[in-house]
Amino acid sequence: MLGTNPRSHPEPAATAPPSPGAGTLLQLLRDGVPRTRSELAAVTGLARSTVTQRVDALLASGLIGPAGEAASTGGRPPTTFAFRPEARVVIAADLGATHGRLAVTDLAGAVLAETSADLDIARGPDPVLDWVVARGRDLLTGLGRDTGDLLGIGIGLPGPVEHSTGRAVNPPIMPGWDGFDVPGHVSNRLPGSVLVDNDVNIMALGEHFAHWRDHDHLLFVKAATGIGCGIISDRQVFRGAQGAAGDMGHITVAGDDGPACRCGNTGCLEAVASGAAIAAELTRQGIPAHSARDVVELARAGSLPALQAIRQAGRDIGEVLAGAVNLLNPSVVVIGGSLALAGDHLLAGVREVVYQRSLPLATQHLRIVQSRTGERGGAIGAGVMVINHGLHPARIDRLVAT
Amino acid sequence: MLGTNPRSHPEPAATAPPSPGAGTLLQLLRDGVPRTRSELAAVTGLARSTVTQRVDALLASGLIGPAGEAASTGGRPPTTFAFRPEARVVIAADLGATHGRLAVTDLAGAVLAETSADLDIARGPDPVLDWVVARGRDLLTGLGRDTGDLLGIGIGLPGPVEHSTGRAVNPPIMPGWDGFDVPGHVSNRLPGSVLVDNDVNIMALGEHFAHWRDHDHLLFVKAATGIGCGIISDRQVFRGAQGAAGDMGHITVAGDDGPACRCGNTGCLEAVASGAAIAAELTRQGIPAHSARDVVELARAGSLPALQAIRQAGRDIGEVLAGAVNLLNPSVVVIGGSLALAGDHLLAGVREVVYQRSLPLATQHLRIVQSRTGERGGAIGAGVMVINHGLHPARIDRLVAT
């Protein structure tokens, strides 16, 4: 733990609710369906007069607006109210080892503008975050919005992050970032909450939000240079006691005889099935490959050794996933990351082993699918992280309290 | 899924709160600390008049009572109010393959009376549940309480259970129980909610409640005839999409060359490290053993092969747990079940491998400990399951609504 931070952002305590209502009404309206005051009263069980008061507060905040009239049952037709996703915007950044992707989204998570660039994370936090701030401002300007419209900024980093303080913790490929106060740096330059998480968690959140919102339990596996996993449980990122949950890359798959892993152990999944491991193996076989991208290109060009290696990596990932499926019983497993771009080979290997090794009760309704958000998943998830935080019912209650 | 059931019991939806308050106040008071109306208003942010109204409703329900006067700051000293754990009682049953254990607890989970008996689960649901009902009534009578005081009945079963309907699903050792309507059968004979779960989940809940309430994330491993795992996440049982979460016994540890498992696969943890597997292995070595209990007795008598086998079983369990720790990042792992009664040998093997194989970030603050609730853990957990359900704030709000 790196100590508390004035910009840390725990969810408001559930045991001490302020007078509730507005946040709950907004939560209902976030589905985009316009509703009358009577409908809102019926769904929530609140008194009609209370609903009117809450609706007025939300109207004043701009988060909802009138949305035309409902069909009349006689007399003056009642007004309906709807969520206004355009009321605020979010800057969402997905920062990888060598590449940065930036989006501005509305409050429904729709990408309004985006950009990307080669960006070496190892240059350190100052230049990298300054890029986020400067390009974020540019995107806002291009949309005719200004920083006063910001709900917040969401940032994904390619390493372990302490979510509660927004700081990287001993990140292996990010010199200069260890313990750096990312929210502090950005908050001095832009208004709004600043939330930070690791890249796999935001990819899991983005994939869940974009395609699997009616599933409560999802695993997202990123197979790229390394291998990581983001766990969505009850529609939220599952973090565990120290926020370290989801580390799948260093689970043993090849035993004590397996190859050495950079973590100091042997036989870790990452040491046998990551893009880096496959590239090294192909190079040993006389087929030069330096990265996960090289492996994917070889596979696309029809290289049989590359195809076989990717399929076997899928089986190895499947071995570990079979255990994760038995333990966590998700209803969806999504395979993403650059290795997944090689087409169905990785997925075929994963399916082969999971359906063989997991229990029937756990696989009965299980879907194992390729990522659909692809390279945009991380930025979408970084935006969703900020939206879910900023529009949390208790926070809205405080925001619009009169 | 076995369809819906009128006695199923989802938690009330979070999106449509009734006018809140009483349930939240009770939740605060469940810590046993008496509080004045002013203190309750200060903690909750509710208006003093609202607190008075809620407190009156809770007094009328008998769930709280006056608890003397607070120190006065001048004028008449204010009354304090405290939770009354004796207001209701719970019948809690932990049913094993050949043994049943029954307790009556108060609303703080304290065991007021208990009994146990040899009870063959394979006799089928009618005689077994009738034993629960009859002995439950006897315990109540002995305490001078009657069935009108019941908050509910909690039952743990030694097989997979669909928690939402309270029915066993394809249980391997429970002929006649598959799909049987346990809540229906019991509800026809006793008042109160009837909740059912599998034995490992209630053991995890009991251990967490009794000893680890300030830890949000706990894994409980039951190592006995079989091997199972109960996951506590955010202080609740983690169930996953189909309620099948926590199956640790059929995760691969010995690979394709490992021994055949009753599930149809090879090399499952249960096939190499369960009490049944160890007993079979010792028998092969010329040391007759038929059960986990035999193995434990041999170990206690100093049998070196038994001690070695238990230590190795600990290592095998540790292999699987190391992966679970990386994935879930709990802060406590509790080892229970009859094999754990062999003393430190099992635990030593578990620790050896988990600390070697899990990531430093995940083991930094991890405690791996022996079960302390022992044979009472299941019954305590079955009681806690009913209490947490019955005293859920939204349910209390409805109960005392005026």
Domain architecture of chain A: domains with CATH: 22-84 (1.10.10.10), 87-204+378-390 (3.30.420.40), 214-371 (3.30.420.40)
Do residues B185 and B174 touch, judged by C-beta distance below 8 A? Answer: no
pLDDT at B14: 37
Q: Between B245, B252, B362, which is nearest A328 by CB?
A: B245
List A369's β-bridge partners, or say none.
Answer: A334
Is A367 an interface residue toward B (CB < 8 Å)?
no
Q: Are A167 and A200 in contact (CB under 8 A)?
A: no
B contact residues 38-57, partner A, Cβ 8 Å cutoff: 43-46
Nearest to B28 among A15, A239, A331 (CB): A15
On chain A, the residues whose CB falls within 8 A of the CB of B319 are 252
Put simply, whether B356 touches A (Cβ < 8 Å) is yes
At A43, the pLDDT band (50, 70, 90 cuts) reads: confident
Q: State residue B69's pLDDT score.
A: 82
A266 has a chain B CB within 8 A of its CB = no
Q: Closest residue of A to B392, CA-based? A: A15
Confidence grade of residue A11 (pLDDT, cut at 50, 70, 90): very low
The H or E element containing residue A140 is helix A125-142
Q: With both helix axes pointing from N to C terminus, report the angle between A304-328 and A344-357 in degrees, rounded to the nearest 10.
A: 40
Is the model more confident about B254 or about A274? A274
**What pLDDT shows up at residue A209?**
96
When the pLDDT of each residue in chain B is averaged and rounded to a whole number, the result is 90
pLDDT grade for A266, boundaries at 50, 70 and 90: very high
Higher pLDDT, B81 or A393: B81
Nearest to B16 among A45, A357, A365 (CB): A45
Vertex B381: Cα angle to B379 and B385 (nearest 5): 120
Q: Evaluate if residue B58 carries a pLDDT over 70.
A: yes
Reported ipTM: the value is 0.87
Q: Which residues of A touch B323 (CB under 8 A)?
A: 251-252, 320, 323-324
CB contact (8 A) between residue A327 and residue B250: no
One-letter amino acid at A147 equals T
pLDDT in tens, A135-145: 999 999 999 99
Give the residue from chain B lying closest to A359, CA to CA: B250
* Separation between Cα atoms, residue A261 and residue A268, nearest integer Å: 6
At B95 the pLDDT is 96
Contact flag B327-A251 (C-beta cutoff 8 Å)? yes
β-pair type (B367-370, B332-336): parallel
Mean pLDDT of chain A: 90
Alpha carbons A159 and A174: distance in angstroms, whole number: 8
Residue B395 has a pLDDT of 87
Give the B window 287-326 contacts with A, CB below 8 Å.
319-320, 322-324, 326
| Residue B244 contacts A where some CB pair is shorter than 8 Å | yes
How distant is the Cα of B184 from the closest Cα of chain A, in angstroms?
Answer: 24
Residues 6+ apart with CB under 8 A from B306: B278, B282, B287, B289, B295, B298, B299
Closest-CA residue of A relative to B322 is A251
CB within 8 Å: A328 and B215: no
A386 or B6, which is more confident: A386
Phi, psi of A209 (to 5 degrees): -65, -40
Taking the CB of residue B43, how many other CB atoms lie within 10 A of it? 16
Tell whether A242 is within 8 A of chain B (Cβ): yes
Angle of CA points A127, A129, A131, to nearest 5°: 70
Interface contact B17-A20, CB threshold 8 A: yes
> Do the chains contact at B244 and A362, CB–CB below 8 Å?
yes
**Are A123 and A95 within 8 A, CB to CB?**
no
Contacts of B217 in chain A (CB under 8 A): 240-241
